[in-house]
Every structure is written in structure tokens, then in C-alpha cells.
Chain A
Amino acid sequence: MKPLELSRQLKVEKYEAIMEIGRQQRREELLAVLMLAEEHGGRASPKDVSQELLQGRPELVGKAIVDRCTDLGLLDETGTITQIGKQALRTGNVFIPEKGRYILWFTDDPLVAQKVIHIEPKEESQLNDEVAAIKNRATNQTPKPEPLPQKIMDLPGGIYELMGKDGGTVVIRSIEAQGLTCPLGPNDNARITLRIDHTGSRLNISGSFERLLKAPSLDFEEVWVSALGSLAKLWANSREPPALKTSFDELSPKELASFSKTVFLSRPTIVGYGEFDDTSVDDVPIFPKTSADAASWAKWILKRSVNAYTDEERYKSLVDTCKSRFPDFPGIELPDAEKLAAELATEKDIDGALPKAYWYLQAPLDLRMTKS
């Protein structure tokens, strides 16, 4: 069975807000302070910095550096290393603050753990824009700042991996309460795709944003059954291997031969993670729905397996092999060679030519040799 691939349009919201954020940069001198703090039980004092990092220079200089770390959130007021400081140690980067007007892309999609998709500085307005803004103000078309939703106001303090083209990691330090809700444009288009099978799952965003995300912890069997929807009642999960009960009549020769089919899923849903677009899954294991289906299916396979001259012994072996493919239906009855040949005789083509399998069965019956 091929992995189940569920996909849908990522629902994105877009805001313009004045924010203070920190962008990651490599700052060796600050990292040295953090490493010192770690060596000293998680705390660095101006004195420690002066003596150990500044070769005994005045403690005042050490204090200035510790204060800078405090300003950047790497140390707290007591000089103790913060979570941000610890992450800086791990990544080798520290967040350098900046403040300005930013565009923020946000998603509520339950599959995406990180709600911030991307942050970009708002481009400085050009003279033309200013003129347009004045005109708009006159016509009362300029969007007015409004209180941003609480879910946006809850973002500060978090560290976010940006999913835009240039990527990067930022920390949001603060957001001003008033901002703008922006309309979505053609460049705000993204899909989220969950690919899941027995071996694990993979989640990625594609389109205007590209990122491989950490997939939520999901049980494939549960997801599959949930995605099957109305077909779930035909899914025999306790069977080994699990397979979909299927009627003989609705299967193509390829499906009959492979014991698998492509299953179409309409608006598949994962409980707790929402609905996805229509999709199909290739190579889904199938098996007969009823014993009548099993009998028809087994006979169909038997006919197909007659691809060389088949004497009594070989026919018995083919029948046994054929039956063994339907362990769920141990009572399958298959026709003897003569009857099967008679059935094949009715499958003439338009010119009256008989199928090869007919001759493969009938010739050994008509032109029987003595058993050696």
C-alpha cells in the first residue's frame, strides 16, 4: 500500500503590526558570556566577566556586557541565563532586537504546531504610496488600525522558524495592540500535505512557503480508518494483512491480479485535524467481500494462471496455489480442467479464435499421454 497523502489549502491570515522582534545573529562575545554563565552554575556577574573574559579590566566594563545580555533577554536581572540564552547557546546565535512595522502570516491549522508562518518587515512606503494614502484618507478608504486578535497578542515570547524563502529564526518580543488585517494576495498561497504510512509521517508546507514540519504524532491505522470514511466498514483491520473487502464485479483485471486497488477518498478527515481534499491511495490491499466473490475471483486467477500446457498434475498444483491465495475462504470450489476448458471455449474473439489458455488445458486432455 502506498502512503496516504492528505493535502489541503493552508488557511493563512495576514496582519500588519508594529512589533519588536529578535533576529538570530552569531555574536561570539555574547556567547562567551553565556558559556561563562553556564560554567558558573547558570549565572554570570560583571566581576566574572571582567576577570575571566576581559583579562582583569574594570568591573564596570563587565557590567556593561552583562547589561547588554540582559537587554537581549539572554540573562535576567540577576544575571541568570534565560531560556532564550540557553537556546542561543545551543544554536550559537543570539537574537538581536529590532523594532518596526512588520507583516505577519499566521495559521490556525491544527496540523501546524507553529502558528507563525512568516514575518517580513513592511516595506517603506514610496512617495506615490504616500500620495495615494492621502487621497484614501480623503475618501475615507485608508484602513484604520484595530485591536489585533488575542491569538496574535499571545505570540510574544515565542521563537519562530520562518517559512518564507529566506527562512531564519526570530523571537517576538512584543506586539503593539493596534494593527491591520491584510487581504491575502496571490503570493500568500500555500498547501499543507501530510504523508503517512506504517513507517511514520511527514508534514510539509508548499507553495509560497516551503518547509518540512514536524508532523503530529498520529497512528496510521486510526488515520487510515478515519480517512476511509464510509468505506471504513469494509476495512478488515484484524486481517493479516489488513485489506478492503471488495466485490469481484467492481474490480479490473489489474486489480484482480494484484489483490490491490486504488481507493478514492472523498473529503477524507482526520479526527482532530480536519478535512482534506479528495484523494486516492494506490495499492490498497483488497480481498473478496463474499464467498461468491471469492469463488469468481479464484476462478479468474486460475484461468489466468493457465499459461502453458497443463496436464492433470500441473492443474492440481495450479488449483492448490490459487486456493491458497484466499485464506479467508477455505471452502472455495474450483472447476476441474475439463469444465474450465469448456468455459474458456466460450471466450472466442471476434474471429472465432480461442484463448491460448483453452488450448493449454484442452490439448493435454485430448492428447493425453501415459503417466510416466
Chain B
Amino acid sequence: MPAGSVSTVKETAFQGQKTIDRRDEVLPPLWVQSHNLSHEANPVRGWNGSRVSPIDSDGSVRTKLVDIVDEADQVVCVCSFIIADKSVVEALLRAGSRGVRVYLLTASENLLLKESKMDSEFDAERLRDHIETLRSVAGRILVRTSEHFHSKFVLADPNGRNPRGYLLTANLTAEALTRNVELAVELTVPEVQDLFKQFLIGFWKESSSELLDKGGLSKVEPIASGRIESPKNIPCTTSEVHTLRSTADRLIEDARNEIIVSSFGFDLQHETVQKLVAAATAGKNVHVFARPRPSKSTMDALVALRKAGAVVRGHPWLHAKCLVVDTERGWTGLVMTANFEKRGLDEGFETGVILRDKDAMTMLDFAESWKERFPLELFVDRRVGQVDGEATLWKDGELRKVTIGKKGKTDLHEFRVKKVEEVAGFEPDFTRVVEGGLEIFQEHTFVWTVLAPRPEDTAESKTT
């Protein structure tokens, strides 16, 4: 309520004040910080006895990858959207030096250049590292590229006496292997052998360029006819195989009551995401883990899931893609490289591993840990009065960090009116301040000063 007035020697001024109660005001979808971001990059660690491992800051997964490469004695097959981790690259080069043949599938430079300009899994610096890495390995390992290679795995001696391998949600970069929220699955021998089939498809059928020497990429010439069996145990996406999507769909459909899903990207238009929304709408407990990022398709999907009843939690470095559901046969998980998008489930080059029993339970444990330790949660119906602290609003296609406090005051400074009679009743427009501000208060007090018109303003007013 306006109150009080002060006269000065020179000018007549009116001091205005108004407190707005914003507690019932509905906020746009927002990420609310529920915990502080842990110094430990990955919120889970120390899961022994399972073949599923989280990425941790000690780089234990990276050590495992380096170990299997160091112990390979024939062939190493690697697929990674981007590769720039020094330890892994050095291990690959060491393998090459001792006569082990190393084959690498990776994304094409053109795609990466395009991607790095957008909201992406990596930044321009990683891209430079990646390009430098490829230059350094030219001729020492055989690199093939394609616009759609996005899978991430390392296979050692897939046809040898001791086949070993890992499927990763992480790219082979230092950040992904030590900082991100990622998963790695140690593959069984049949899985290694099956995934090798997908590698063959990638190498012989789906590569577009190759790096054979320092001369740079050259177009891939197709080899004389040959047949490659499709993987049977490993769900994947290739140009001819779409078992990753059918596996994800089946798991969602088979879920009795619990669905836990994690991904870097979601697309609301995709049928698999629609199935998740439908499951949440149907009352199933859907827990979604995501990375808060300014992607309209992802945010639209997360908002829709939240509105349908899913709990959506966020982590700034989440990159793991997985699905865990309770089926009639027990808990079943799927760790995969694909996002819940067309490019990944319907198109591209992606891989997944189905996890059951102890491994699925480990996944469940991870999810429980994530629920407790992910710092952010998405809300779509929060009122100002329900939030206290930092939050990130999703509005007009942008994520905007704001602070929401209980009480606050904003000095709107001076306003000069044109007519004397307007002085007492003047009230500024608060909307602009409320909507554009980085601070939101449940009780927001605004103060301002109204200045009477100057004589010349009045004269002008009279003459006009």
C-alpha cells in the first residue's frame, strides 16, 4: 500500500511502496536444487561384484579399458563418437606397437564440427583434441568414420582365446571417463562376440571414410561381397537392425510398476518417449534422470513426463543412458549408447546390453543412489511460495538461473509524472521487473519515488 510523503527544498517528491505476495504465483517448469553438487563427479561408486560400473573420478573404468587393451594380443576394436583420452589413446598405440591390430570407428569430423556448435555432449576443445588424436594415430591404427557412429565400446581379441570388452555410455574422453555420470558394462564372451558382428557392420558396411595415413581421410571403397550376421544378443541400431528400440519398447511395456530411465536426450515426439509418458500417466512409478540443458525437444519431453507423474531428476554431467524396469521375471536393465530420440533408436549406430539379475539390481542401486544424490529436480507446477533457494527456469526456450527467497525489496528509483494530480496515485508497472529479474521473492516489496512535474513540463502540457 502506498504510504508517506516527503517534501524537499527543490522538488516535491512522493515516496511509494508496495509489497506483492507472489506465493501463489505459478512458476514455469523449473529445475530446483535439492542437494549441493557433490565434489565427487559421479554420485555412485564402489559397486563391486557386478559387471556394471559407474564412472568415477579415480578413473577406474578407464583403468579397466587400458588393462584389456594392454592385455590384448591380436585385435582391439573400438567405437567412440569422439576419442581424446590420453591414457586410452596411448594404450591403443602401445597395442599397435606390439603388433596388435587396432581398429577404430568414430564420428566424422564434419559431423563433430557441426555438433560442437550446438548444445552438445562435448565442447570445441574436446573436438580439437579428437582431431589431434586422429592425426597422431594415422597409419598406426586403422580409423574409419561415419556421420552416425555414436556407439561406445572397446573389444579385445573378440575372436581370440580370451575375448573381453566393455560397453560404455561414455565417450573416450577424459571428462567422460572421470567426471560425467556414466556407466560401463563388462561384456560376457557371447556379448563380445556378438558386438564384434556389429563392429563388422560398422566397419565394412556403414563407414564412409577412413584414415590410413597422414594424408587425411579418404573415401571408403567397398570390399567384394561378404555377409555379416546381425548381432543376436546385443540390441543395437544400424541401418538394417533396430533391436535397440524394440528392446527399449518391450521393457517399458513389460514394466509392472517401476520404470527408471536415464538419458542425455529425449524427444517427446518419439514413440518410445510417448510410451514412457503413457506409463507415467497410467500410474506407474517413472523415475527419469536427465541433464538439464537448453534443448527444446528434451525439455518438452521432461516436462511432459513430469506432468504425467514421473519424477525427473537432473545432474549437470549426466550422460548415462539406461532403462531399468520391474518385469514379471524380475528387474531387467538396459544400458545403451542411444538417446531416447529418433537419431539413436531408429537411425545411427548404437549399442545396448541387457542386464538381468544381479546386474539389474546393481542398476537399481545406482538409480536409488542417483535419486538421493542428483542435485536437481524438475517441477512443472511449483508456486513461488513452494520454492526457496536457487532454481533454473525453463521459459521461452531458455534455461535461466534464478534465486527464490522469502522476502525481498527492490528499489525502482524515481519516476517523474507529467501532471501534479498524478503524483499521489502513481504506481509503476511491476511486471517487467518480475518477469526479467534473476531474483524472485515470495513477498516482494517495491519502493519508488515519484517526482512532481517540472514547471516547464506543466507549461508545455498546458500549451498542448
Contact = CB atoms under 8 A, between A and B. Distances in A.
A359 B204 contact: no
A311 B223 contact: yes
A353 B140 contact: yes
B102 to A, nearest CB: 10
Contacts of A134: none
Given A353-B213, A354-B139, A359-B142, A367 B225 contact: no
Contacts of A313: 224
Interface string A341-364: 000010001011110100100111
Contacts of A369: 200, 204, 223, 226-228
B224 A363 contact: no
Interface residues of B, number: 29
Contact of B103 (A308, A349, A352, A366): A366
B287 interface: no
Nearest to A309: B223
Contact of B221 (A309, A363, A372): A309
A347 to B, nearest CB: 11
Interface stretch (B93-101, B247-255, B274-282): B93-101
B142 A363 contact: yes
A320 to B, nearest CB: 16
B223 A356 contact: no
Contacts, number: 62
Interface in B55-86: 74-75, 77
A367 B200 contact: yes
Contacts of B75: 366
A372 to B, nearest CB: 4
Given A354-B139, A354-B140, A367-B199, A311 B103 contact: no
B228 A370 contact: yes
B138 interface: yes
A362 B101 contact: yes
Contact of B223 (A362, A364, A370): A364
A260 B452 CA distance: 106
Contacts of B204: 367, 369
Contacts of B212: 356, 359
A371 B227 contact: yes
A370 B203 CA distance: 14
A352 B224 contact: no
B223 A366 contact: no
A308 B220 CA distance: 10
Given A349-B139, A353-B138, A354-B140, A366 B213 contact: no
Contacts of A370: 226-229
A353 B136 CA distance: 10
Contacts of B74: 366
A364 B223 CA distance: 9
A313 B225 CA distance: 10
B214 interface: yes
B284 to A, nearest CB: 43
Interface string B201-214: 00110000000111
Nearest to A308: B221
Contacts of B96: 352
Contact of A353 (B103, B139, B224): B139
Nearest to B199: A367
Contacts of B200: 367, 369
B227 A372 contact: yes
A68 interface: no
A367 B203 contact: yes
Contacts of B203: 363, 367
Given A353-B213, A366-B75, A367-B204, A314 B139 contact: no
Nearest to A317: B224
A364 B99 CA distance: 16
A160 B77 CA distance: 85
Given A345-B99, A366-B101, A369-B204, A356 B213 contact: yes
B149 to A, nearest CB: 15
Chain A CB count within 10 A is highest, among B93, B199, B212, for B212
Contacts of A363: 101, 103, 142, 203
A364 B142 CA distance: 12
Chain B CB count within 10 A is highest, among A311, A353, A372, for A353
A315 to B, nearest CB: 11
Contacts of A359: 142, 212
Contacts of A352: 93, 96-97, 139-140
Interface in B221-241: 221, 223-229
Contacts of A354: 139-140
Nearest to B137: A353
A71 B417 CA distance: 141
A363 B223 CA distance: 11
Contacts of B99: 345
A372 B225 CA distance: 7
Nearest to B215: A356
Contact of B139 (A311, A351, A364, A367): A351
Nearest to A372: B227
Chain A CB count within 10 A is highest, among B200, B213, B214, B224, for B224
Interface string B121-161: 00000000000000000111010000000000000000100
Given A351-B139, A352-B140, A364-B223, 11 more contacts: A308-B223, A311-B226, A314-B224, A345-B99, A349-B139, A354-B139, A366-B101, A367-B199, A369-B200, A369-B226, A371-B227
12 contacts: A308-B221, A309-B223, A352-B93, A352-B96, A353-B138, A353-B140, A353-B214, A354-B139, A359-B142, A366-B103, A369-B227, A370-B227
| A-B pairs, 10 with minimum CB distance | A353-B139, A369-B226, A372-B227, A309-B223, A370-B227, A366-B75, A356-B212, A372-B225, A359-B142, A366-B101
